[in-house]
Amino acid sequence: MDSFDDIRPYRDSELPAALRRIADWDLFPQAIRFIYPNADIGEERDKLLSIKTIFQFQSTFMNDAIRRIIATTTTCFTHSGLKHLRRGVPYLFVSNHRDITLDAFLLQHLLLEHRGETSYIVFGNNLLSLPVMEDLFRSNKLIPMARGGTPRAFYNNLSHLSNYLTHLITVERQSAWIAQNNGRAKDGHDVTAAAMIKMLTLSHPDNPLQALADLHIVPLTISYEWDPCDLMKANELYHLRHGGYQKAPHEDLKSVATGIIGPKGKVHLTIGAPLSQRDLVPPQGVNLCDHVATVLDRSIQGNYRLMPTNHVAYSLLTGQEQHGRYTELTRSQFLQRLETLPEVEMRQIMIETYAAPVMACHRQPSQRNVSQS
Q: Is the dihedral of CA 301, 293, 252, 349 positive or negative?
A: negative
Is 148 a residue whose pLDDT tops 90?
A: no
Question: Distances in Å between the alpha carbon of 229 and those of 3, 21, 26, 350?
Answer: 37, 29, 25, 11
Domains of the chain: total: 2
223 in a structural domain: yes
- Using alpha carbons, select from 228, 220, 235 the residue that is nearest to residue 349: 235
Give the lowest-confidence range in 117-131, 227-241, 288-302, 331-345. Answer: 117-131
Contacts of 255 (CB under 8 A, 6+ apart): 100, 229, 232
143 in a structural domain: yes
Report the pLDDT value the prediction gives residue 77, as an integer from 0 to 100: 98
Do residue 107 and residue 150 come from a single domain?
yes
285 CB neighbour count, 10 Å cutoff: 5
**Are 212 and 203 contacting, i.e. CB atoms less than 8 angstroms apart?**
no
Query: Position 359: which residue type?
Result: M
226 in a structural domain: yes
CA 156 from centre of chain: 24
Dist. CA 92–CA 119, nearest whole Å: 9
**Are 304 and 361 contacting, i.e. CB atoms less than 8 angstroms apart?**
yes
Do residue 295 and residue 330 come from a single domain?
no
- Mean pLDDT for 98-120 is 96
Report the pLDDT value the prediction gives residue 179, as an integer from 0 to 100: 97
29 in a structural domain: no
Do residue 331 and residue 301 come from a single domain?
no
Do residue 239 and residue 175 come from a single domain?
yes
Q: What is the pTM of this model?
A: 0.94
122 CB neighbour count, 10 Å cutoff: 19
Do residue 285 and residue 336 come from a single domain?
no
Report the pLDDT value the prediction gives residue 149, as an integer from 0 to 100: 78
Chosen domain end from 280, 305, 330? 305
Report the pLDDT value the prediction gives residue 364, as an integer from 0 to 100: 56
Do residue 272 and residue 148 come from a single domain?
yes
Dist. CA 111–CA 134, nearest whole Å: 23
Do residue 85 and residue 159 come from a single domain?
yes
Do residue 97 and residue 243 come from a single domain?
yes
| HSE-CB for 208 with a 13 A CA cutoff | 18
Dist. CA 147–CA 93, nearest whole Å: 21
**Are 182 and 196 contacting, i.e. CB atoms less than 8 angstroms apart?**
yes
Is 86 a residue whose pLDDT tops 90?
A: yes
Chosen domain end from 278, 305, 332? 305
At 266, is the pLDDT very low, low, confident or very high (cuts 50, 70, 90)? very high
Do residue 121 and residue 189 come from a single domain?
yes
Do residue 280 and residue 249 come from a single domain?
yes
Is 253 a residue whose pLDDT tops 60?
A: yes
At 46, is the pLDDT very low, low, confident or very high (cuts 50, 70, 90)? very high
Cα torsion through 303, 308, 313, 319, rounded to 10: 110
At 248, is the pLDDT very low, low, confident or very high (cuts 50, 70, 90)? confident
Report the pLDDT value the prediction gives residue 68, as an integer from 0 to 100: 97
Contacts of 333 (CB under 8 A, 6+ apart): none
Range of the domain at 97: 74-305
Tell me what percent of the residues of the chain surpass a pLDDT of 70.
97
59 in a structural domain: no
Dist. CA 90–CA 280, nearest whole Å: 18
Do residue 270 and residue 336 come from a single domain?
no
DSSP code at position 125:
G
pLDDT in tens, 314-367: 999 999 887 789 999 999 999 999 999 999 999 999 999 999 999 998 775 444
14 in a structural domain: no
Is 52 a residue whose pLDDT tops 90?
A: yes
Chosen domain end from 305, 336, 355? 305
Report the pLDDT value the prediction gives residue 32, as an integer from 0 to 100: 95
Is 372 a residue whose pLDDT tops 60?
A: no
27 in a structural domain: no
pLDDT in tens, 200-213: 999 999 999 999 99
Bigger pLDDT: 128 or 32?
Answer: 32
Dist. CA 328–CA 181, nearest whole Å: 35
Mean pLDDT of the chain: 93
Report the pLDDT value the prediction gives residue 199, as an integer from 0 to 100: 97
CATH number of the domain to which 209 belongs: 3.40.1130
- Using alpha carbons, select from 298, 294, 327 the residue that is nearest to residue 311: 327
pLDDT in tens, 280-314: 999 999 999 999 999 999 999 999 999 999 999 99
Do residue 248 and residue 352 come from a single domain?
no
58 in a structural domain: no
